[in-house]
């Protein structure tokens, strides 16, 4: 059962925010270091953590050195993300020895796994506070309890990981990382149980926010200067089943809001990417021309083992319909190399799929076994070295395809959202096209956060170069 957190409970948390702010006001302003690992959903959670902390009187620093509060907002999707968190936590031991008052918290997907909380309990005694993905909105109370214990010796370690299928908490304060880009979660959790994926175990069942709540957040983001709305969910295509609406309907409603802004969404599942949705996107001028459609593998045998519920032919049918209805569309995808039981022949099916589709770019991963998932129980005879070779081959093929794909932009004039200063040359700016391609162009910093028309002059295999036109 999904629980919508009551208004009374949220009011209680606001009271705790005030109480912590009062405690903090008695001393020099405290500093927090919040480090978020992983996906956009986590980044969005990080913005809520910072939103609550800012109201509690915390300033922020980019390093844990000298911080009063450190929070690691963790990711569990692959093993290397978890290793990084443990490495960072280990390094904090010395910091805490220097400053025993430092409060250390760990949250996010990792801590939803019992073997992880056990390890934190046993091997990381300097961690004070561990809270699960469904406890995020209770952070004010958790911090209050830590700060309010006057005798430090008595400070209790708290592990708060509520069970259940997941909650929706409306009205958590936010502190956006970027004023003109607003991440807006539209749903949480996942019901798909792809056999390699830990997400359904750590984020609970699919649950959608109500349309009016999303529209209000979108409106206030646009009024606050947001020029890009990123609608977030593990599988946005299945948005709205519970309130009885659909992702297409939501897109149409957001598209109808006044103002110049762009609508992006992340992530999609090919099994739910309907023709009706593609028609909707084609007709909504504010919706990005970028389709991130994770295919994972080009082999039907592996797709079945992955529990993905589509074949490569189904995937081609979606791609062909997108190309027909949205001719300027760009496609990108996620690919996993070395799934248990994958052979070189299966891998070649992935190569032939990417040759056929011609993605602008790919997010590529070597399979990482996740405890508790079905795939982690499957025989996996291929060596890491062999998988590494396949991975390198995939990158090489995509390098060539990506450069060709980017060449089609040369000569076009595209509406670019200017995102920041140049990455190497201070006279340059960098922005994103409606297809989500990075473009570098000369321009004044006052254009950051605005839309400009840029004529594309040159394509590299990972970025475009252009100049502003009127």
Q: Packing angle between helix 139-147 and helix 40-55, nearest 10 degrees? A: 50
Mapped onto helix, strand or coil, the DSSP state of residue 453 is strand
Find the shortest distance in angstroms from Cβ 335 to ligand SF4.
12
Q: Find out whether 128 and 103 touch, Cβ atoms under 8 Å.
A: yes
Q: Which of 196, 247, 347, 391 binds ligand 5AD (CB under 6 A)?
A: 196
Name the segment binding ligand 5AD (CB under 6 A); options: 16-24, 308-316, 364-372, 412-420.
Answer: 364-372
Find the shortest distance in angstroms from Cβ 279 to ligand SF4.
23
Find the shortest distance in angstroms from Cβ 193 to ligand SF4.
6
Residue 350 touches ligand 5AD, criterion: CB under 6 A: no
Mapped onto helix, strand or coil, the DSSP state of residue 158 is strand
For ligand SF4, what does the binding mask look like between residues 28 and 57, x meaning CB under 6 A? ------------------------------
Q: Find out whether 414 and 456 touch, Cβ atoms under 8 Å.
A: yes
Residue 165 or residue 253: which is nearer to ligand SF4 going by CB? 165
Could you give the angle at the alpha carbon of 81 between the alpha carbons of 364 and 365, nearest 5°?
Answer: 10
Q: Which of 197, 236, 331, 405 binds ligand SF4 (CB under 6 A)?
A: 197
Name the segment binding ligand 5AD (CB under 6 A); options: 322-330, 365-373, 429-437, 446-454.
Answer: 365-373
Find the shortest distance in angstroms from Cβ 434 to ligand SF4.
25
What does 74 interact with, of ligand SF4, ligand 5AD, none (CB < 5 to 8 A by kind)? none
CA gap 463, 470 in Å, rounded: 22
Residue 239 touches ligand 5AD, criterion: CB under 6 A: no
Closest-approach residue to ligand 5AD (CB):
334
Give 249's contacts (C-beta < 8 A, 6+ positions apart). Answer: 211, 240
Q: Which of 134, 138, 183, 192 binds ligand SF4 (CB under 6 A)?
A: 192
Residue 269 touches ligand SF4, criterion: CB under 6 A: yes
Q: Which of 78, 96, 290, 432 binds ligand 5AD (CB under 6 A)?
A: 78
Residue 132 touches ligand SF4, criterion: CB under 6 A: no
Long-range contacts, stretch 341-346, CB < 8 angstroms, 24+ apart: 341/302, 341/305, 341/378, 341/379, 341/380, 341/381, 342/297, 342/299, 342/302, 342/367, 342/382, 343/382, 344/390, 345/299, 346/297, 346/298, 346/299, 346/301, 346/302
Long-range contacts, stretch 213-222, CB < 8 angstroms, 24+ apart: 213/170, 214/184, 214/186, 214/250, 214/254, 215/253, 215/254, 215/257, 217/182, 217/184, 218/182, 218/184, 218/254, 218/257, 219/257, 221/176, 221/182, 221/184, 222/182, 222/257, 222/258, 222/259, 222/261
In Å, what is the CA distance from 48 to each residue of 53, 87, 452?
8, 25, 31
Give 194's contacts (C-beta < 8 A, 6+ positions apart). Answer: 296, 306, 307, 308
Residue 235 touches ligand SF4, criterion: CB under 6 A: yes
What does 365 interact with, of ligand 5AD, ligand SF4, none (CB < 5 to 8 A by kind)? ligand 5AD
Residue 138 or residue 296: which is nearer to ligand 5AD going by CB? 296
Name the segment binding ligand 5AD (CB under 6 A); options: 27-35, 361-369, 384-392, 462-470.
Answer: 361-369
Residue 193 touches ligand SF4, criterion: CB under 6 A: yes
Residue 215 or residue 366: which is nearer to ligand 5AD going by CB? 366
Q: Which of 334, 393, 436, 457 binds ligand 5AD (CB under 6 A)?
A: 334
Q: Which of 130, 147, 190, 382 binds ligand SF4 (CB under 6 A)?
A: 190
Name the segment binding ligand 5AD (CB under 6 A); options: 17-25, 367-375, 407-415, 424-432.
Answer: 367-375
Long-range contacts, stretch 188-194, CB < 8 angstroms, 24+ apart: 188/41, 188/233, 188/234, 189/165, 189/234, 190/234, 190/235, 191/235, 191/238, 192/234, 192/235, 192/269, 192/307, 192/309, 193/307, 193/374, 194/296, 194/306, 194/307, 194/308
What does 336 interact with, of ligand SF4, ligand 5AD, none (CB < 5 to 8 A by kind)? ligand 5AD
Find the shortest distance in angstroms from Cβ 333 to ligand 5AD.
9
For ligand 5AD, what does the binding mask look like between residues 282 and 301, x meaning CB under 6 A? ------------x-x-----
Site for ligand 5AD, rule CB under 6 A: 77-78, 196-197, 294, 296, 334, 336, 365, 367-368, 370
Applying CB under 6 A, the residues found at the interface with ligand SF4 are 190, 192-194, 197, 199-200, 234-235, 269
């Amino acid at each position: 059962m999904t629980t919508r957190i009551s208004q009374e409970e949220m009011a209680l948390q606001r009271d705790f925010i005030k109480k912590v702010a009062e405690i903090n006001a008695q001393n020099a302003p405290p500093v927090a270091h919040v480090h978020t690992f992983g996906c956009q959903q986590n980044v969005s959670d990080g913005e809520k953590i910072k939103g609550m902390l800012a109201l509690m009187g915390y300033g922020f620093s980019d390093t844990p050195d000298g911080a009063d509060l450190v929070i690691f907002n963790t990711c569990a999707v692959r093993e290397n993300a978890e290793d990084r968190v443990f490495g960072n936590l280990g390094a904090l031991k010395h910091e805490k020895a220097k400053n025993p008052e430092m409060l250390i918290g760990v949250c996010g997907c990792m801590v939803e796994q019992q073997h992880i909380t056990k390890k934190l309990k046993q091997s990381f005694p300097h961690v004070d506070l561990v809270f699960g993905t469904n406890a995020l909105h209770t952070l004010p109370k958790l911090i209050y309890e830590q700060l309010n214990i006057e005798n430090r010796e008595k400070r209790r370690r708290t592990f708060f990981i509520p069970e259940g299928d997941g909650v929706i908490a409306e009205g958590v304060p936010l502190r956006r990382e970027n004023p003109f880009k607003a991440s807006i979660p539209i749903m949480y959790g996942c019901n798909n149980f792809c056999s390699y994926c830990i997400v359904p175990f750590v984020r609970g069942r699919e649950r959608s926010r109500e349309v009016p709540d999303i529209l209000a957040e979108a409106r206030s983001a646009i009024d606050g200067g947001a020029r890009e709305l990123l609608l977030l969910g593990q599988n946005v295509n299945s948005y709205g089943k519970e309130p009885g609406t659909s992702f297409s309907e939501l897109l149409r409603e957001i598209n109808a809001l006044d103002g110049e802004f762009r609508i992006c969404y992340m992530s999609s599942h090919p099994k739910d990417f309907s023709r009706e949705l593609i028609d909707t996107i084609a007709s909504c001028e504010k919706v990005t021309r970028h389709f991130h459609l994770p295919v994972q593998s080009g082999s039907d045998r592996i797709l079945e083992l992955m529990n993905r519920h589509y074949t490569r032919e189904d995937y081609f049918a979606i791609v062909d319909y997108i190309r027909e209805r949205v001719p300027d569309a760009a496609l990108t995808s996620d690919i996993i190399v070395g799934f248990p039981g994958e052979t070189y022949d299966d891998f070649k099916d992935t190569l032939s799929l990417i040759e056929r589709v011609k993605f602008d770019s790919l997010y590529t991963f070597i399979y990482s076994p996740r405890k508790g998932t079905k795939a982690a129980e499957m025989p996996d005879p291929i060596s890491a070295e062999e998988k590494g070779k396949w991975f390198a081959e995939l990158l090489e093929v995509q390098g060539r395809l990506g450069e060709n794909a980017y060449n089609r932009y040369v000569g076009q004039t595209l509406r670019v959202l200017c995102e920041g200063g140049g990455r190497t040359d201070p006279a340059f700016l960098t922005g994103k096209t409606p297809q989500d391609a990075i473009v570098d162009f000369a321009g004044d910093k006052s254009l950051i956060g605005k839309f400009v028309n840029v004529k594309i002059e040159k394509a590299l295999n990972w970025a475009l170069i252009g100049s502003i036109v009127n």
